[in-house]
Amino acid sequence: MDTAIIADSISCIPKEQVERYQIKIVPANVFFNNHIYRDLIELSSEKAYELLEKAPEFWKTSAPSPEDYVEAYRELAKRVSSILVVTISSKLSMFHSSATAAREVFKEESPQTVIEVMDSQTVAAAEGLIVLAAAKAADEGKSFNEVVAIANWVKERVKFIGLLETIRFVYRTGRIPKVASELGSMLSIKPVLTGSNGSIRLAGAARNRQNGINKMLQMMNVDVNHVEPVHVAVMHAKTLEEAEKLKEMVVAEFNCVEIFITDFSPMMGYATGPGTLALAYYKENELGR
């Protein structure tokens, strides 16, 4: 491959796919009780939820620094001439600004290396599906321009739907002020969220889990009919059994050419809370992409 792909740990890409397509992951930083952990590297999802439930007031997170991205560029530039960086929505975190600042710094060190920084305008495995489409194209030997074009194509079409067990975690973090203001006093309902224009918004609510899951599937049905090929990621925060059942429901109802289950990263779990279930998906077009 002459093109390398960089993602962040928020993209929730399964480890085996990261390794298969040689995707470079730049982790977020998690601060807990005076210790610094690199998301998914020094802190597993299981351990993260233990810490989060134990003392959420001692838990903080931050995006990687520009120096972290420069280090990743330097490593990859030894073997490729072009790098595509895909980040979580710039409206939700500082990953994009760090990656962009790092690119300007690295230009002086390696002006021959072409680096494109793409704002996914989404989050979690919706971002991950963009990354995987690009990584597969690079693995097939497509040109850098083709890889970027494919990533942009998926970016314009990928959808995110999430079901929260409670609004309490989102309300506490203040990451989604609009949802907090609308639902802050209704902690007993199950909010359904979607991604739109780089932000997360409230799409509805359910009185119980099963109704919420049914609502997610109904929303997906609006976008995808039963014969259209679709790529799907099922995400969960400490609720694997439900994720497996949701996967079975999706497989039974849609023509999945790709589907996998993945954990939310600890940083995502902090923002949404244990019990979160989510779907990310996009349809292929008539050309097979």
Average pLDDT over residues 200-215: 89
Percentage above 90 pLDDT, the chain: 64
Domain limits of the chain? Answer: 3-28+63-155, 159-283
Three-state DSSP class for 37? strand
Give the chain's mean pLDDT: 89
Nearest alpha-carbon partner for 153 in 9, 282, 36: 282
Q: What is the pLDDT of residues 64-105, one digit of tens each?
A: 999 999 999 999 999 999 999 999 999 989 999 999 999 999
Looking at the domain 3-28+63-155, which fold is it?
Answer: Rossmann fold (3.40.50)
Query: How far apart (Å, rounded) are the C-alpha atoms in residues 83 and 76?
Result: 8
User: Which has the higher per-residue pLDDT, 214 or 58?
Assistant: 214
Domain 159-283 matching CATH 3.50.50.60: the answer reads: no
Strand order in the sheet with 35-38: 35-38, 29-32, 59-62
Q: What is the pLDDT of residue 178?
A: 53
Query: How far apart (Å, rounded) are the C-alpha atoms in residues 146 and 162?
Result: 31
Tokens, residue 7? 């993602």
Q: What is the pLDDT of residue 16?
A: 96
If pLDDT is split at 50, 70 and 90, which confidence band does 179 have?
A: low
Identity at 48, one-letter amino acid code: A
If pLDDT is split at 50, 70 and 90, which confidence band does 174 have?
A: low
Average pLDDT over residues 186-211: 83
Q: What is the pLDDT of residue 183?
A: 52
Q: Do domains 3-28+63-155 and 159-283 have the same CATH topology?
A: no
> Would you say residue 181 has pLDDT above 50?
no
Lowest-confidence region among 41-55, 150-164, 211-225 = 41-55
